[in-house]
Amino acid sequence: MPHPDALKWNTRYSSDPHRSEQKRPHALLTSHLHLLPAPGLAVDMACGTSASGLFLAAHKWQVICLDVAESALRHAQVRARKDTLPISFAVMDLTYPWLPVSSFDAILNFYYLARPLWETYKKSLKPGGVLFFETYVWQPGIEMNPAHYLQPDELRQAFMDWEILHYHELNCPRSSDKLRQIAQLIVRAPI
């Protein structure tokens, strides 16, 4: 039986064939590219159509893109082939994934929250590797499950033992003139 998240996201990506063309790499990554070590191996977690992974690949990184939605990865794969970018794709439930120890120079996590991944990230980054993380923070009035949101300062606290290169909680405009609070974190693994 297909994973319920896979059904949801596959439907969403299949219903809009131009969705991947509308996506841009996350500004947190593009504006802080200089914080990355020399190009190496990156993993883009819950990547969707992987605009950020494609961006890194265009900057000479080897990228592994992981997502539960096969249709999203197919969109990204078409773009990667068109530009002959060094990207691999895999369909994976990311709730409790296994990642190899000390293997990645960079990990990207944009708008996906599974707290068990934090320890996986700490084990999977090479010394000096960098984690880019951005997602929503819980605010009063949100009618969705609070477990799907960070608590204020939670993300920074989870990585206090690493070198914090950037941390910011800010309000971002979303559709229908609403502001949503997000947390941005860039950390470097201890050397």
pLDDT, tens only, 99-127: 999 999 999 999 999 999 999 999 999 99
**CA 170 – CA 183 distance, rounded (Å):** 7
C-alpha torsion sign, points 112, 50, 89, 87: negative
The residue-averaged pLDDT of 3-18 equals: 57
The CATH classification number of 4-15+26-188 equals 3.40.50.150
Residue 77 pLDDT greater than 60, yes or no: yes
Instruction: Determine how β-strand 104-110 pairs with β-strand 179-188.
Output: unpaired
Closest CA to 75 of 62, 64, 89, 56: 89
The residue-averaged pLDDT of 5-22 equals: 55
The residue-averaged pLDDT of 148-169 equals: 96
| pLDDT for the residue numbered 134 | 97
Residue 6 pLDDT greater than 60, yes or no: no
Residue 82 pLDDT greater than 50, yes or no: yes
| pLDDT for the residue numbered 176 | 59
| pLDDT for the residue numbered 144 | 72
Amino acid at 99: L
**CA 130 – CA 32 distance, rounded (Å):** 11
C-alpha torsion sign, points 50, 185, 189, 121: negative
| pLDDT for the residue numbered 99 | 94
Q: How confident is the model at residue 162 (pLDDT cuts 50, 70, 90)?
A: very high
Q: Where are the domains of the chain?
A: 4-15+26-188
